[in-house]
Amino acid sequence: MDVIIRPDAASAEALTAEIIANALRVKPNLTLGLATGATMEKVYQRLADMNKAGALDFSLCKTFNLDEYVGLPAEDRNSYRYYMNYHLFDRINIDKRNTHLEDGTAADLEAECAHYEQLMDEAGGVDLQLLGIGLSGHIGFNEPLSSFSSRTRAVNLTPTTMAQNGPYFDPAKGEKMPNRALTMGVGTILDARKLVMLVTGERKADIIAAALEGPMTSMVSGSAIQLHDDCVVILDEAAAAKLTLKDYYRSAFENDPKWDAYRNI
């Protein structure tokens, strides 16, 4: 695992966007795993800007998102399909038929999850999976005690996650956060050929330290990325505050030739 610490959130987001952009330039028909949440909004903004400037082509790209709320249709402004259309898909030259999220309104959720796994298989698997981490330690919506071999399935959200995402829902407009979601499993995520995790902000400092430097445990699903052999974690200083090996991560980033093209971003 590589851990890269950038001075602020903007440079962490820029570096993340550049890694994704370069992967797409190397493989125009990349299968990209995508994540939602506040952390990713600026990354998508940067990718959309590159596309607009003619510097990045999504026409052959396929995408699979990590998760979706149960019960929210695409047109609901709190659904992750809505988020993805708004923040990325409607701003780039991607063929919407190549963009996938679980359907949280499916009558048979188990069949929907099996179908989603099948679609990923048929696409040849995910080349690069973008990840955040939640305050509960989740990747996707894999809450504590999710098996490291779990696959796409329906899950129950923890009080921590309900508190983290609840403020996006406006009760005055009749909005209520679902307490269930469909998510790629931890095992599904680990099958991606490359993992790129972006974590910013002081409030994530404890959980990311537990995930990266603590023991691997299903109590912190994000710790499962320690099992992956091609994984980079990009942090801002605030999120990196509780890491014990910061100096080592900094010198590795400065000295490793594979990061030569990324140091000035």
Instruction: Name the DSSP letter for residue 50.
Output: H
Phi, psi of 125 (to 5 degrees): 85, 165
Pick 132 or 178: Cβ nearer ligand PGA: 132
Q: Which of 134, 137, 178, 185 binds ligand PGA (CB under 6 A)?
A: 134
Query: Which positions from 36 through 95 interact with ligand PGA, judged by CB under 6 A?
Result: 37-39
Pick 40 or 98: Cβ nearer ligand PGA: 40
Pick 109 or 137: Cβ nearer ligand PGA: 137
Strand order in the sheet with 2-6: 2-6, 231-236, 194-199, 128-131, 31-34, 62-65, 99-100
Residue of this chain nearest to ligand PGA (CB atom): 37
> Measured from the CB of residue 137, what is the shortest distance to ligand PGA in angstroms?
9
Q: Which of the stretches 10-18, 33-41, 78-86, 253-261 binds ligand PGA when contact is defined by CB under 6 A? A: 33-41
Q: Which of the stretches 7-15, 129-137, 146-154, 231-239 binds ligand PGA when contact is defined by CB under 6 A? A: 129-137
> Measured from the CB of residue 254, what is the shortest distance to ligand PGA in angstroms?
28
DSSP string, 123-185: TT--SEEEE---TT--STT--TT--TT--SEEEEPPHHHHHHHGGGS-GGGT----SEEEE--
Q: Which of 17, 32, 72, 133 binds ligand PGA (CB under 6 A)?
A: 133
**Count of residues touching ligand PGA (by CB under 6 A):** 7
Residue 137 touches ligand PGA, criterion: CB under 6 A: no
* Residue of 139, 135, 251 lying closest to 201 (CA atoms): 135
Strand order in the sheet with 67-69: 67-69, 180-183, 153-156
Phi, psi of 21 (to 5 degrees): -60, -40
Binding footprint of ligand PGA on the chain (CB under 6 A): 37-39, 132-134, 138
